[in-house]
Amino acid sequence: MQLHPAPFHHEVADGPETGVAHWLTTSDGVRLRMGHWRVAPQDGPETGTEKGSEKGTEKGTVLLFPGRTEYIEKYGRTAAAFAARGYAMLAMDWRGQGLADRLLPERATGHVGRFTDYQHDVAAMCDAAEALALPKPWFLLAHSMGGAIGLRALMSGLPVNAAAFSAPMWGILMSAVMRPTAWAMSWSSKKAGMGHVMTPGTRAETYVLAEAFEGNSLTHDRGMYEYMQAQMRLHPDLALGGPSLHWLHEALQDTLELSRKPAPEMPCVTFLGDQEKIVDPARIKARMAGWPGGELVMVDNGEHEVLMEVPAIREAIHDRCAALFDAHLTPRAGASLTA
* C-alpha to C-alpha distance for 91 and 66, rounded to whole angstroms: 7
Does an H or E element contain 46, and which?
none
Whether 77 and 117 have beta carbons less than 8 Å apart is answered as no
* C-alpha to C-alpha distance for 124 and 142, rounded to whole angstroms: 17
Tens of pLDDT, residues 85-106: 999 999 999 999 999 999 999 9
Below-70 pLDDT ranges, the chain: 42-56, 332-339
* C-alpha to C-alpha distance for 200 and 185, rounded to whole angstroms: 10
Q: Is the bond preceding 137 in cis, omega lying within 30 degrees of 0?
A: yes
* pLDDT at residue 334, as a whole number: 53
DSSP 192-224: TT-TTSBPTT--SS-HHHHS-STT-SS-S-HHH
* pLDDT at residue 184, as a whole number: 87
Q: Is 97 helix (H, G, I), strand (E, B) or coil?
A: coil
Q: Which CATH class is domain 4-326?
A: alpha beta
* pLDDT at residue 42, as a whole number: 60
- φ, ψ dihedrals at 94, nearest 5°: -60, 160
* pLDDT at residue 44, as a whole number: 46
* C-alpha to C-alpha distance for 132 and 226, rounded to whole angstroms: 33
Domain ranges of the chain: 4-326
* Nearest CA-CA partner of 142 in 155, 130, 127: 155
* pLDDT at residue 51, as a whole number: 39
* pLDDT at residue 48, as a whole number: 37
The whole-model pTM stands at: 0.93
